[in-house]
Structure 1
């Protein structure tokens, strides 16, 4: 019995890392680097979870 070709899963790690960097830079520009980091973390996690959910739906 032949296995179907495997498909590479999508990854949201790049968006998470990018949002952390952008959030920190924007926050530092306003004198609140820590708040920018936390905001970037929240946005990045939301994007990464969204990509994970879309990928889960595509593989079913």
Structure 2
């Protein structure tokens, strides 16, 4: 059983948050903020899940 006090060194939530903000800003610049938000959500989710899978070993 793993130690409950052990914390992960990965920061998948940070990647998701940054990609959402960048996607929304890029969408605003291109006149499509909702498309930018969804693109940032997709890219951030893929990055966070891949980081999580890598950390699982």
With normalisation by structure 1, the TM-score equals 0.81
Number of aligned positions between the proteins:
54
Structure 1 outlier segments of 4+, above 4 Å: none
Name 1:45's counterpart in structure 2: 45
Task: Select the structure of larger CA radius of gyration.
Answer: 1
**Unmatched runs of 5 consecutive residues or more in structure 2:** none
With normalisation by structure 2, the TM-score equals 0.85
Q: CA RMSD in A?
A: 1.8
Residues 19-58 of structure 1 correspond to what in structure 2 (within 5 A)? 19-57=19-57
Deviation at 1:16? 0.2
